[in-house]
Amino acid sequence: MTRKEASPYRLDRALVWEGFKALLPLSLFVIVFGVAFGLAATQARLGDLEIVLMSTLVFAGASQFAALELWGPQVPFFTLLVTVFAINARHLLMGATLYPWLESLSPARRYGIMLVASDANWAMAMQAFGRGRPGLGLLLGGGIALWGFWVLGTWLGLNVGGAVQDPASLGLDMVMGCFLLAMVVGGEKNLRMLLIWTVAAGASLLAFYYLPENSHVVVGAIAGGLVGLAWGKRE
């Protein structure tokens, strides 16, 4: 393998296609949640075009469902803004972790990739980077797969949504959690990483029970990040 092929900064069509295929199995489960969102948005009396555009332009399942809870004749704009920001605040941390590999790209390519960044393709990309392998293809190609099937699921929800009204009743709400857990287990294993994940999990659980809704995501990430920063990393 040449130096160019081994570079973690490499990004080309072949890697994007590989990333697309790698996230394809998980993307099939995303369709189910897209169907559930399409159905829920229909019940909230949004128009078909509005629903599809929301999934196409926003691409943030949890915050889209939260927005439906606040939707009505009088939409509380400030409350909606704060809620969506709180749910998606983890993307600030995701962007920070990806910066070393995105820094060399042009702004157009950098932000174009981040438009489709989500938990799953971020986790796989970071795992690849941790092994010194290219991860930008996973980030972009995998993100395109997740985004495309999310939009497809939303469209299906407008037409056949009655078939899947409650994904949680089928246990499908655990798919993403199990996937991310597998990424953690397959990652670096040492006392430092164990402590980081333990502190992050503990802080997240405490925030889940005692702090405002959705704050546990940010609290857990910051707590784990501070432990990693304090410990440092040996080369």
pLDDT values of the chain reduced to their tens digit, one per residue, 235 residues: 444 456 778 888 999 999 999 999 888 888 888 888 888 888 778 888 999 999 999 988 878 887 887 777 777 788 778 778 877 877 887 888 888 899 888 999 999 999 999 888 998 898 898 888 899 999 999 999 999 999 998 998 888 755 555 655 655 555 445 545 555 555 566 777 778 778 888 888 898 888 876 677 678 777 877 887 777 654 4
**Rounded to two decimals, what is the model's pTM?**
0.72
Read off the amino acid at residue 144: I
Cβ contact 63:88 at 8 Å: yes
